[in-house]
Structures are given as C-alpha cells and as structure tokens.
A and B are shown apart, each in its own frame.
Chain A
C-alpha cells in the first residue's frame, strides 16, 4: 500500500491546499456524488469530490421531479432549505395522436401539504445547494477539474488522474458518480461502450411563463405544481415520451427517445422538440412562453441487464454511471441518491475493517440487491425489452384508443351496441385477435 505523503500543491482557483491522499475520492458532484460525499464526510471520513463543471450542476439536466422520501434518506427535511420550484399535486398521463388526446391522472390535496411527495427542481440551483451541504459536512468539493483516468497499483484502483498539473489524487476507494457517460467506469475496464439502444437521448427547454398563467393553465392553487407525461405522437413512433413540468415561473418541456430510434428514423432532436411544442394538444399550454434555455442529455436504458459490475478492487459505481434509471416511472434521481447511500455504507464498513478489496466492497452489491433498486431494475429490463420489441404500442394503441373514444363519445343516434361492434371490427382490422391477446398478456407480464 502507498504511504501517506504530505506533498501538497496549491489549487490555482480556490486557493486551497490539495492534499494528494484522502479516504475517499468521489468523481462527480451530481446527485449521487454529492450524496455520497455528504454522508461519508458526515461520518468523519476524509472526502474529496471532484467535479468538471465550473460549479456543481452546470453540466446537469433533469426533467426536474425530485422525490421527497428518497432525498430525505440523505438529508432529512431537505425541502425546507433547498431551492425547490413547486410541490407536485397532480400527475397526468397523456396519450396523443395527431388530432386527439386520451388522458388519465391523479390529483390529491394530500400532496399539497407536508410531508409532500415530490417537487420540481432546477438542477443548476439544486446541485449547488446540495454541494454546499456536503462542504459544510466537511467534504472538499473541487470544481473545474476533469477526472481523466484511474490510477492502478498491483491491479487495484488506488486513485485518479485529473486534468490539473500534478493532478494525481490517491485514496482507499474511488466512487464513480460521473453520470450516464461514465468514461471512468470504462477506463476502469468495467464495461465497454454502450450500444445506441441502451441510452435515450432527451432534449429539454425552459419556457418562461408568468406564475398566474401557469396556475390558470394547469388548474393549480398558488405555488402548487403539476406534471404531464405525454406518450404517442409526441415521439412519432420512437420509444420514449415527452413531458411538461411546472416550475415557479417557467415550464420544463422535454422529449426523448432511444438513440437507436433517432438513428433508425433519421430524426433531429430539435425538430422533434419543435414538433412537440407546436402539437395541437400542447401548443396552448406553452403559448406566449419564452424559450430560455435548450439542453440535451442522455438517460441510461435497459435496466439491470445493461448494468456494468458496480464494484471492483478500490472502486464503486453509483447512479447513472451504473445505469440505474427507470424511465417509464420517471425515476433516476432516487436511484442515484439511494445507491450513493448504500455505497457510502459499504465504504464505512470497509473503512472500519481497513479492507477495501472487492470482497469487502461488494457489500454494496448485496445492499443493492436487498433494496428496491435491483428489484425494480430487473423488472425494468423486462419492461424495456418488451417495448423495444413491440414499438407499435407507442403508435398503434394510442390511435386505437382515441378511435374507440371518438366512436363512443360522438353522439350520433347510433345504438351503443352497434358502436361497440364497430370499434371491435376496426380494432381487429388493424390487429389480429391472437396478436391483441399476446400484446395484452405481454404488456402485463413486462410490467409486473
């Protein structure tokens, strides 16, 4: 093992001495990285968290729904202090066709009061606040610094090489929290490049609107928020969906789909966004709004089957870097935070035992397996495989549903039984009975 060195060098921007040895190096000050840094520093470990952005958050994009309960597993009562936009009181699900809309939703006044269920956030603001909490807990968060590689000694990872001069930093363990692109876990040899059907590409815009307009258009009381997830014509048959979430004075508007589908269909993401924003079912919600920022980001896809090994000698992988995302349930932030918490727990145990081999660190794998994370991600593997194989779900079924609703709800002096027969005939003309049954069973099995 390498002995502790007292060599220091000056950080040119922050004017802080950067020791070259820590208990833990965390790469990335996103949700997972900051959570791990906060918890480990609080437990008394010597932690450095290295972020490539000029501030924590400025590289990060999220639709914006952050869940109250999982975030409390890191900082109880966080939402009283943190910069949140609006608590979510209503969630809507839309299926759209070029000229119709079928919708479902849930609204509850219980969500408008403590303890709340979820809040919209803007990551640039939130991540900065979150990193400040880690700093206050004793972690050293440094920005403007890219981690370029891992450093190995005798086969195990003992530190990282950064883009700074004299930028080698050593620790007992490295936590890779570097997000979906995770070049670090690739450098560590944990996996190769992701194939294009294992990531979704999403674009997002901030559309400014006055508060009262937002509250009127979304039927909200002052300061309450709503979400809409929009499937069907929003992605012109690609596997993905669009969303609109309410912030205080703006809407987060986004649309995303598998990268492989963008390639297959030859679709440009900005064209898709423009088409989404001007869709007849959506345009009026955004009318008069001013587009303030345009962003793009990847989302890991494929669930457990697509994950790299999450522990190795001297390193753990958390959050998006480990492929933890459950897009149909709009979950990612919670998986990042909870996986970071479990990784921190495994590191604390390794620290107590003074043993950072994969044998001890793989306690993290066991903790993940026991938690909802791996259970949900195994299920999500099935779900995403099913929908990738049956992409007609995203085009055909919304259309058939809208068609049926149109038939039933059009008052035209036709007896209801005739209408039902007509709907069935039209359905069967587009899909054979055994196919319909197979679709229904398949979809149910993939979701449960």
Chain B
C-alpha cells in the first residue's frame, strides 16, 4: 500500500511555512451545500500507486485516509487552479467551478 508521505525530500527548510498557515490570509466564500470536486471511483484511488493529487495540489485538498482507504477532499480550501483535473492519471476527479461568486476570492492576484 502506498503511503501518504510525499516522496520529495527537501534539502531546504526545516522552518518552511505550512500551506495551512498561509491559507489564513486567503479569502474564501465557501459553498456549504456541495463540493465542486468529486472523486468518481474510490476503488481507483486505492489502486493508484503514487496518488499524485495528494502531492501536487498546491493547497493539499486531497489526503489519503489510510484507515478508510479513500481520498478525502477538503474542497473548501481549493484555489481552483485546475491541476488535479489534468494531473489525475485516471481522470478520476470530476472538476467543476464553484457556483458563481463562491470559492476563492483573491485580494491581490
């Protein structure tokens, strides 16, 4: 079974800021009713060896739940870049924009 650890060994910073801290400064209007990201086939994720979505998503929306053997989707922190739609090797993510006016609302851009 693949682990959730990133395989990338950083030569640099022990003191690097975590993305979760950075997200405190990012403004969102969350759609509490529904996720705009849907993992289509959980079985596929179990078979997906590298689980790249858990690594390349710039805000760690996807985490592999070892116990439940499934990917959990923290859609409320998604910044809508689109990478997971393209980068999932099995096209296993149904990707939509959040409803009009919802989702990330950058202050600078």
Contacts and interface: CB of A to CB of B under 8 A. Distances in A.
A binds B: yes
Contacts of B22: 205, 270, 291, 294
Contacts of B52: 263, 266
A262 B56 contact: yes
Contacts of B107: 58, 124, 292-293
B90 interface: no
B86 A194 contact: yes
B82 interface: yes
A52 B109 CA distance: 15
Contact of B109 (A54, A122, A146): A122
B29 A268 contact: no
Interface in B12-48: 12-13, 15-19, 22-23, 25-26, 29
B10 interface: yes
B81 interface: yes
B74 interface: no
A119 B86 CA distance: 32
Nearest to A269: B58
Nearest to A127: B109
Contacts of B23: 294
A143 interface: yes
B106 A61 contact: yes
Interface residues of A, number: 59
Of A143, A194, A298, chain B has the most CB atoms within 10 Å of the CB of A298
Nearest to B7: A266
A201 B25 CA distance: 21
B105 A271 contact: no
Given A54-B101, A58-B105, A143-B101, A271 B82 contact: no
A206 B19 contact: no
A267 B58 contact: no
A183 interface: yes
Contacts of B19: 270, 294
A292 to B, nearest CB: 6
Contacts of A292: 25, 107-108
Interface in A344-397: none
Of A145, A196, A267, A296, chain B has the most CB atoms within 10 Å of the CB of A296
A144 interface: yes
A279 B8 contact: no
Contacts of A58: 104-107, 109
A194 B7 CA distance: 25
Interface in A236-250: 250
Contact of B10 (A125, A183, A271, A298): A271
A123 B22 CA distance: 20
Pairs A-B, 6 closest by C-beta atoms: A274-B16, A123-B109, A144-B101, A296-B58, A294-B22, A266-B7
Interface of A: 52-55, 57-62, 98, 122-127, 143-146, 162-164, 180-181, 183, 193-196, 199, 201, 203, 205-206, 250, 259, 262-263, 265-271, 274-275, 278-279, 291-298
20 contacts: A58-B107, A60-B109, A124-B106, A124-B109, A125-B108, A125-B109, A196-B87, A203-B58, A259-B87, A262-B56, A266-B8, A266-B55, A268-B60, A270-B16, A270-B22, A275-B11, A275-B12, A294-B22, A297-B81, A298-B81
Interface of B: 6-8, 10-13, 15-19, 22-23, 25-26, 29, 50, 52, 55-56, 58-60, 79-83, 85-87, 91, 97-101, 103-109
